[in-house]
């Protein structure tokens, strides 16, 4: 019997509302501010996602031979090219997206968290 179940994935960031809006455009749903420094993404499919203000936030480095990316999100999409165009327009930055033969491409969200667009 498991000890717990996953409640949500929480991303530390300097501006929770702005990052929640980015992910709302990417995944659907609506940002919902529950308290100062905390925003939930409500009404989207999948694991609950929340954003927490972190003063002094330092984004993970990817790839970093001397450090860890900490974690990343894998997001399944139907059309990699169309999804890439949309996430870049929303403020994502390509990290490793030049190999067009692969079934995934790596980006950073506006706060610097890595995520992958994966062919579905």
Residue 34: CATH number of its domain: 3.30.720
84 and 105 part of one domain: yes
Range of the domain at 51: 1-58
Strand order in the sheet with 38-42: 9-13, 49-53, 38-42, 30-35
> Are 70 and 18 members of one domain?
no
Mean of pLDDT values over 67-94: 89
Per-residue pLDDT reduced to its tens digit, 48-60? 999 999 999 988 8
Binning pLDDT at 50, 70 and 90, where does residue 7 land?
Answer: confident
Sign, Cα dihedral of 99, 73, 45, 52 = negative
Write out pLDDT tens, residues 81-117. Answer: 999 999 999 999 999 999 999 999 999 999 999 999 9
Task: Give the total number of structural domains in the chain.
Answer: 2
Residues 83 and 27 in one domain: no
Same domain, 50 and 69: no
3 state SS of 52: strand
Verify that 24 and 39 share a domain, yes or no.
yes
> What would the mean pLDDT of 29-33 be, rounded to a whole number?
96
Q: Same domain for 6 and 31?
A: yes
List the Cα angle 4/54/85 in 5-degree steps: 90
- Asked if residue 112 and residue 83 are part of one domain, the reply reads yes
Cα 108 from Cα 113, distance rounded (Å): 5
């Amino acid at each position: 019997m498991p000890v717990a179940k996953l409640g949500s994935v929480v991303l530390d960031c300097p501006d929770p509302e702005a990052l929640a809006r980015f992910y709302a455009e990417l995944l659907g749903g609506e940002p919902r501010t529950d308290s100062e420094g905390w925003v939930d993404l409500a009404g989207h499919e999948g694991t609950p996602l929340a954003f927490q203000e972190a003063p002094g936030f330092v984004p993970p480095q990817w790839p970093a031979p001397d450090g860890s990316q900490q974690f990343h999100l894998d997001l399944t999409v139907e059309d990699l090219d169309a999804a890439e165009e949309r996430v870049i327009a929303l403020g994502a930055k390509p990290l490793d997206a030049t190999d067009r033969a692969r079934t995934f491409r790596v980006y950073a969200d506006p706060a610097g968290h890595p995520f992958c667009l994966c062919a579905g």
